[in-house]
Amino acid sequence: MIEFVHPWAIAGLLFVPIIIWWHKYKGHTLEGSMRISSSKLFSKHFRKRGNKRSITVFVLKIITVSLIIIGIAQPRKIDKLQMTTVDVVDIIMVLDISSSMLAEDFQPNRLEAVKTAAQKFIENRDGDRIGLLVFAGETFIQCPLTTDKDVLVSLLNDVRVAEKEYDGTAIGMAIANATNRLRSSEAKSKVMILLSDGSNNAGELDPTTAADLASQFDIKIYTIGAATDQSLTYIPGVGRMVNEIDEEMLKAIAKTTGGRYFRARDKDMLTGIYQQINDMERTEIEVKSYTRYEELFGWFLIPALLLGIGTETLIRSIFRQQT
């Protein structure tokens, strides 16, 4: 983009066509002249050469004046530069994969409903690093922090309920392991999204103690309890089991870390909860604009100077040379 510091000076170009008109119809009457009895005394070639010289000098003067006017207007090139600073959020998604996640109170079951909602959440996060940790009686890192959403979604789709030998619900150990993944992060915001459908019944660490540890590293934990209000739920291959979700514990974890507890009673509520978390933990983008100016008046004034000197040289030497 090009702008003029003194745009009013451009108005001077309006006088250029006036000067040309005046020179063509009036100016020649004010030039020095010599009366002769007949123009036939001069050869046609001589007259033609004289006209060419006169037109050449006039055109050079017009160009010089036009360049000077544009130079006075001080044109300059503008480059708009933007520097974008993105404060990303590091997020660890902590998913319960104990056998109770096969319960069919969410269609087709709790685990598949959670995976669908978690995938939508991942796809809505641009620029953030997201990791996936799963737990039952033990904790497993499914995917470390990454910005590659395709890889993360693929690994999420591979999540299955834990084998019988690893069954259980070790919430405290899951929080501790996720904290270990986030504690050295330099992100402005560090978030853990913990989803469980049971109560802590395995592991060596109490969930509230683990939450205290997470809070020391400024890690915010959002907890989600996924289960209907029914006292019993059906699990394929197991039969009916009691819903043992420990809401008080999940609320305490969230409160300790400055997070929030959510209760999902069906698949739609689960999707809505992930959306609420998505809205609360937005990536901050700071955009700074800079303007760079490149002065262009030299490209007009220097040629004007050279043309002016060249024109005067032609007038005083070559065009006055005797042949």
pLDDT in tens, 292-315: 888 888 888 998 899 989 888 888
Alpha helices in 183-264 (DSSP H): 207-216, 247-257
Q: How far apart are CA 19 and CA 303, in angstroms?
A: 21
Instruction: Return the pLDDT at 160.
Output: 95
Q: What is the band of 323 on the pLDDT scale with cuts at 50, 70, 90?
A: very low
41 against 209, higher pLDDT: 209
- The arithmetic mean of pLDDT across residues 114-118, rounded, is 95
- The arithmetic mean of pLDDT across residues 198-204, rounded, is 88
Contacts of 300 (CB under 8 A, 6+ apart): 67, 68, 70, 71, 75
Q: How far apart are CA 62 and CA 70, in angstroms?
A: 12
Q: Is the pTM of this model over 0.85?
A: no
Element (H, E) at 122: helix 110-123
What's phi and psi for 289, nearest 5 deg?
-105, 135
Q: Considering only 155-159, 278-282, 316-320, which range has the smallest mean pLDDT?
A: 316-320
Q: Considering only 39-48, 136-145, 210-219, which range has the smallest mean pLDDT?
A: 39-48
237 against 280, higher pLDDT: 280
Are 101 and 110 in contact by the 8 Å Cβ rule? The answer is: yes
Q: How far apart are CA 188 and CA 157, in angstroms?
A: 29
Contacts of 95 (CB under 8 A, 6+ apart): 111, 114, 118, 132, 133, 134, 135, 159, 195
Are 271 and 20 in contact by the 8 Å Cβ rule? The answer is: no
Task: Give the tokens for residue 66.
Answer: 């036009």
**pLDDT of residue 31 exceeding 70:** no
Instruction: Return the pLDDT at 322.
Output: 44
Tell me the range of 23-32, 95-104, 171-180 where mean pLDDT is highest.
171-180
Q: How far apart are CA 117 and CA 21, in angstroms?
A: 78
- The arithmetic mean of pLDDT across residues 42-60, rounded, is 73
